[in-house]
């Protein structure tokens, strides 16, 4: 493992990733970095947490971290891995396709944590190559209290003939869940979430920066959508959550949040499924 002494700066990582992206040739059998990055002694910035809670619709002032917030804490380490020369997928245009979260304990806001991030592996996808990144949060005594597995897709031509220029909704059986709320999303949602999370992927910021990657307009961060859904669902502090990002949420736009015990989803006005989640 590589033990860090401070949180990696995001701006240099984005710059490095942007410069290297055109030279990456993603494929499932490529080599990838196998050394975990570890940052001990991590404490939560309360002002940044409050800003995150406001953007994601989470009740502020709680004494426990939102289920999705450790992903933000680990994001600088993930960026350092994904922007490196030895990471085979191009950082620019990388699409977050799913996340699985396991929170084993209530995460106290004022505690100190150790966080570790590593690449678990690569896998073929019908639209390209997918990488799985694992983030682990450890409390006192090194006890694992939270972990996540995120998949990221680099779109490219595959043997199946897909050219990876678009992400379309996949067929999902069953009927929509009962609609609980309708949300009108402004065109600045991606920029607002980027400011509190550090994730400044150009596909989320502006139509002009999203179009080179096959999106006609900016799309919402997957992690913003799942954080917003979990806030509406009222997920407990100790839980297992899975979320699949089935289709991009264009900005601006209107989405409908639906839920029932153990499940939630986000759909567009036409019924197109964007996010499918489960809570246990």
Q: What is the mean pLDDT of residues 56-84?
A: 94
Q: What is the pLDDT of residue 267?
A: 97
Helix (H, G, I), strand (E, B) or coil at 276: strand
- Measured CA to CA, the distance from residue 266 to residue 176 in angstroms comes to 9
The secondary structure of 59-80 as a DSSP string is PTT-SB--TTHHHHHHHHHHHH
The burial class, CB within 10 Å (0-12 / 13-18 / 19+), for 98 is: buried
* pLDDT of 170 above 50: no
Q: What is the mean pLDDT of residues 159-182?
A: 64
* pLDDT of 101 above 60: yes
Q: Which residue reads 């995150």 in tokens? A: 52
* pLDDT of 166 above 60: no
Q: What is the pLDDT of residue 182?
A: 97
Q: What is the mean pLDDT of residues 155-167?
A: 60
Comparing 4-8, 43-47, 57-61, 78-82, which segment has the lowest mean pLDDT?
57-61
- In this prediction, residue 59 has a pLDDT band, given cuts at 50, 70 and 90, of confident
Name the percent of the chain in helix, strand, coil, to the closest 5.
Answer: 25, 35, 40
- Measured CA to CA, the distance from residue 253 to residue 250 in angstroms comes to 6
- Could you tell me how far CA 162 lies from the centroid of its own chain? 24
- In this prediction, residue 165 has a pLDDT band, given cuts at 50, 70 and 90, of very low
- Find all residues with CB under 8 Å of 137, minimum gap 6, and list them: 70, 73, 74, 107, 113, 114, 115, 144, 145, 146, 147
- In this prediction, residue 142 has a pLDDT band, given cuts at 50, 70 and 90, of confident
Using alpha carbons, select from 170, 173, 137, 130 the residue that is nearest to residue 152: 130
Residue 215 Rama label (left phi>0; alpha psi -120 to 50; beta): beta
- In this prediction, residue 57 has a pLDDT band, given cuts at 50, 70 and 90, of very high
- Measured CA to CA, the distance from residue 55 to residue 208 in angstroms comes to 23
* pLDDT of 212 above 50: yes
In order of 88, 155, 233, the CA distances from 213 in angstroms are: 18, 9, 32
**Could you read off the pLDDT of 115-138 as tens digits, one per residue?**
999 999 999 999 899 999 999 999
Q: What is the pLDDT of residue 162?
A: 47
Using alpha carbons, select from 106, 18, 95 the residue that is nearest to residue 65: 106
- Measured CA to CA, the distance from residue 245 to residue 235 in angstroms comes to 18
* pLDDT of 143 above 60: yes
Using alpha carbons, select from 168, 167, 164 the residue that is nearest to residue 156: 164
Q: What is the pLDDT of residue 168?
A: 42
Q: What is the mean pLDDT of residues 209-213?
A: 91
Q: What is the pLDDT of residue 174?
A: 65
Report yes or no: 38 and 4 within 8 Å, Cβ to Cβ: yes
**Could you read off the pLDDT of 3-31 as tens digits, one per residue?**
999 999 999 999 999 999 999 999 999 99
Report yes or no: 121 and 105 within 8 Å, Cβ to Cβ: no
Using alpha carbons, select from 240, 238, 231, 195 the residue that is nearest to residue 107: 238
- In this prediction, residue 160 has a pLDDT band, given cuts at 50, 70 and 90, of low
* pLDDT of 72 above 60: yes
* pLDDT of 71 above 90: yes
**Could you read off the pLDDT of 228-272 as tens digits, one per residue?**
999 999 999 999 999 999 999 999 999 999 999 999 999 999 999
């Amino acid at each position: 493992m590589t033990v860090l002494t401070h949180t990696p700066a995001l701006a240099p990582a984005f710059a490095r990733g942007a410069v290297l992206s055109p030279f990456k040739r993603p494929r499932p059998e490529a080599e990838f970095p196998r050394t975990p990055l570890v940052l001990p002694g991590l404490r939560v910035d309360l002002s940044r947490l409050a800003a995150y809670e406001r953007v994601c619709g989470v009740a502020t002032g709680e004494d426990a971290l939102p289920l999705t917030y450790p992903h933000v804490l680990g994001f600088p380490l993930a960026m350092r891995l994904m922007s490196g020369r030895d990471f085979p997928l191009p950082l620019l245009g990388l699409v977050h396709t799913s996340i699985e979260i396991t929170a084993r304990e209530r995460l106290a806001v004022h505690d100190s944590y150790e966080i570790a991030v590593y690449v678990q592996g690569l896998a073929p996808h019908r639209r390209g190559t997918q990488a799985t990144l694992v983030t682990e949060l450890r409390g006192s005594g090194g006890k694992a209290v939270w972990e996540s597995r995120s998949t990221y897709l680099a779109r490219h031509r595959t043997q199946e003939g897909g050219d990876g220029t678009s992400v379309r909704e996949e067929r999902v059986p069953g009927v929509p869940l009962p609609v609980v709320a309708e949300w009108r999303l402004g065109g600045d949602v991606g920029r607002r979430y980027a400011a509190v999370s550090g994730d400044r992927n150009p596909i989320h910021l502006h139509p002009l920066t999203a179009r080179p990657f096959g999106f006609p307009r900016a799309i919402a961060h997957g992690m913003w959508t799942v954080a917003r859904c979990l806030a509406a669902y009222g997920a407990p502090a100790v839980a297992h959550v899975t979320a699949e990002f089935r289709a991009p949420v264009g900005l601006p736009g209107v989405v409908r949040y639906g839920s029932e015990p153990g499940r939630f989803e986000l759909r567009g006005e036409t019924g197109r499924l964007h996010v499918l989640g489960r809570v246990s």
